[in-house]
C-alpha cells in the first residue's frame, strides 16, 4: 500500500543508512506512477541523457529520433556539419516529424507539409499567408541542449543544465586512454522490457548476481568499487585480458594502444547518471542506453564500439562475432531477471530488503535518485 505522501523523506531513512546497515528502495519507487513522474520531472527533464554516437550520424542530414519518458527528440547533423537536437514536434499542430533513423535534405511534416531546414529554421508553410501576425522566424523547431564528449552525444531538455564535462567529472580523465573518439559503433540492438529503468541499471552495476544469473555465460565476476567525482559511479574487474568474449572463445583483436591505469588492468563497469551504462574493456567498449516509458516499461539499447584500427583488420568480421555471441547470450539473461524482479515488486508482499556488501553501487544509485527527488525534512 502506498503511503499518504510518497515524497516524505522519513519513508527513506533506511535507504540513507551506510551500506551494511541500509535497505533497498521501497517497491513503490519501481511501480508507482507518481514516483515515476517525479523522476521524469526532476531527473530526466533536468539532466543530461545519452543519445548515441557522433559516428552514427556522420553526414549532413543524418538523424536519429529517440523517446525519453514520452518526449521525442531529433538529433540531426546540419549542412554546416553541426549536430543539433530539437523537440520532435511540428510547430503547426504538433505532429511528430521523424521516426527512427535516416537521412533527409529537409524536415517535412507528414501532416501539412511544413518544411524545416536542418538547423530548425521554418522554410515553407503553405496556407499561412493570411494568418495575422504569423512570423516564420518565431516558428522554427524548438531547440534542445546537445553536447558531445569523446564521440558520445548527450541531450538535455533544461536550458540551465550544467556543462556536460562538469556532469561527467573525472570520468573524462579516468577514461582518456581509451580514446573513444577513435572508435566506431558497429552494431546497435534494442529490447523493450517490462521493468523499471532503475532495476536494469542496478543490475548492471553489481556482480552479486553474476554467478547465478550468468552461470551458463560469463560466470562469476568479483569487482571492486572505484573512487569517482561527478555524476557517475564505477566498479572495476581486474583481468589480464578482455572479458568481452565468452570464456571458451579466444580473440585475435589487439588491446587498445597506450592504455593506462585501471583501464590497462581490466574492465570498468560504470553508470553515468541517470540511465547510461558503459562496459570498457582493453579492446572495445559497449554501452547500454535506458529509455524509460512508464514505471514498468523501459527500452534498453546496446551499442558495440571498437577502435577504427581493429575494424580495419582482415579478421575483424570473423572475430567480432565472438563479441556478439557474448552480448547476445548474457544480455537476455539480464533482461529476464529484471522483468522477473519487476513482477515480484508488484506483489503486496514486497518489502525493502537489506543490501549486501557486494552491492555498493545499488546503494549509490538509490541515494542518487533520492537526492534528486526527495526533499529532506
- Spell out the per-residue pLDDT of the chain, length 377, in tens: 688 888 999 999 999 999 999 999 999 999 999 999 999 999 999 999 999 999 999 999 999 999 999 999 999 999 999 999 999 999 999 999 999 999 999 999 999 999 999 999 999 999 999 999 999 999 999 999 999 999 999 999 999 999 999 999 999 999 999 999 999 999 999 999 999 999 999 999 999 899 999 999 998 899 999 999 999 999 999 999 999 999 899 999 999 999 999 999 999 999 999 999 999 999 999 999 999 999 999 999 999 999 999 999 999 999 999 999 999 999 999 999 999 999 999 999 999 999 999 999 999 999 999 999 997 54
| CATH for the stretch 9-47+168-373 | 3.90.380.10
CA distances from 10 to 13, 348, 362, 367 (A): 5, 21, 20, 14
Question: What is the chain's alpha carbon radius of gyration, rounded to the nearest angstrom?
Answer: 22
Give counts: helices (H), strands (E), the chain: 10, 17
Q: What pTM, to 2 d.p., does this model score?
A: 0.95
State the DSSP string of 125-181.
-TT-TT-TT--GGGSSPPEEEEEEETTEEEEES-TTPPPHHHHHTTHHHHTGGG-GG
Residue range(s) of every CATH 2.102.10.10 domain in the chain? 49-160
Query: Whats the size of the chain, residue-wise?
Result: 377
Residue 187's nearest CA partner among 56, 68, 74 is 56
- Quickly count: other Cβ atoms within 10 Å of residue 228's Cβ: 17
Q: What kind of fold does domain 49-160 have according to CATH?
A: Rieske Iron-sulfur Protein (2.102.10)
Task: Kindly give, in sequence order, each residue whose CB lies less than 8 Å from that of residue 136, ignoring residues fewer than 6 positions away.
Answer: 122, 125
Residue range(s) of every CATH 3.90.380.10 domain in the chain? 9-47+168-373
Amino acid at each position: 500500500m502506498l503511503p499518504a505522501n510518497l515524497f516524505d523523506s522519513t519513508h527513506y531513512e533506511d535507504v540513507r543508512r551506510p551500506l551494511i546497515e541500509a535497505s533497498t528502495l521501497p517497491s513503490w519507487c519501481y511501480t508507482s506512477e507518481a514516483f515515476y513522474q517525479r523522476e521524469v520531472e526532476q531527473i530526466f527533464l533536468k539532466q543530461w541523457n545519452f543519445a548515441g554516437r557522433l559516428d552514427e550520424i556522420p553526414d549532413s542530414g543524418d538523424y536519429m529520433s529517440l523517446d525519453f519518458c514520452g518526449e521525442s527528440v531529433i538529433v540531426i547533423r546540419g549542412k554546416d556539419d553541426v549536430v543539433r537536437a530539437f523537440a520532435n514536434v511540428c510547430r503547426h499542430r504538433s505532429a511528430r516529424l521523424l521516426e527512427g533513423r535516416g537521412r533527409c535534405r529537409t524536415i517535412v511534416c507528414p501532416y501539412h507539409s511544413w518544411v524545416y531546414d536542418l538547423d530548425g529554421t521554418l522554410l515553407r508553410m503553405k496556407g499561412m499567408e493570411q494568418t495575422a501576425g504569423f512570423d516564420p522566424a518565431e516558428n522554427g523547431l524548438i531547440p534542445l541542449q546537445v553536447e558531445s564528449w569523446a564521440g558520445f552525444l548527450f541531450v538535455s531538455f533544461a536550458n540551465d543544465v550544467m556543462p556536460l564535462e562538469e556532469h561527467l567529472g573525472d570520468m573524462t580523465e579516468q577514461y582518456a586512454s581509451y580514446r573513444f573518439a577513435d572508435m566506431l559503433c558497429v552494431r546497435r540492438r534494442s529490447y523493450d522490457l517490462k521493468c523499471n529503468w532503475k532495476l536494469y541499471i542496478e543490475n548492471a552495476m553489481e556482480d552479486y548476481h553474476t554467478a547465478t544469473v550468468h552461470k551458463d555465460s560469463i560466470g562469476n565476476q568479483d569487482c571492486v568499487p572505484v573512487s569517482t567525482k561527478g555524476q557517475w559511479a564505477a566498479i572495476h574487474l581486474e583481468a589480464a585480458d578482455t572479458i568481452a568474449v565468452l570464456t571458451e572463445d579466444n580473440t585475435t583483436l589487439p588491446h587498445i594502444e597506450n592504455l593506462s591505469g585501471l583501464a590497462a588492468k581490466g574492465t570498468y563497469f560504470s553508470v553515468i547518471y541517470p540511465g547510461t551504462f558503459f562496459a570498457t574493456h582493453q579492446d572495445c567498449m559497449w554501452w547500454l542506453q535506458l529509455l524509460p516509458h512508464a514505471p514498468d516499461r523501459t527500452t534498453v539499447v546496446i551499442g558495440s564500439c571498437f577502435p577504427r584500427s581493429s575494424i580495419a583488420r582482415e579478421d575483424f568480421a570473423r572475430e567480432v562475432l565472438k563479441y556478439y555471441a557474448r552480448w547476445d547470450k548474457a544480455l537476455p539473461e539480464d533482461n529476464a531477471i529484471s522483468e522477473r524482479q519487476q513482477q515480484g515488486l508488484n506483489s503486496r508482499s514486497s518489502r525493502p530488503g537489506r543490501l549486501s556488501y557486494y552491492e555498493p553501487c545499488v546503494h549509490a544509485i538509490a541515494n542518487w535518485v533520492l537526492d534528486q527527488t526527495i526533499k529532506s525534512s
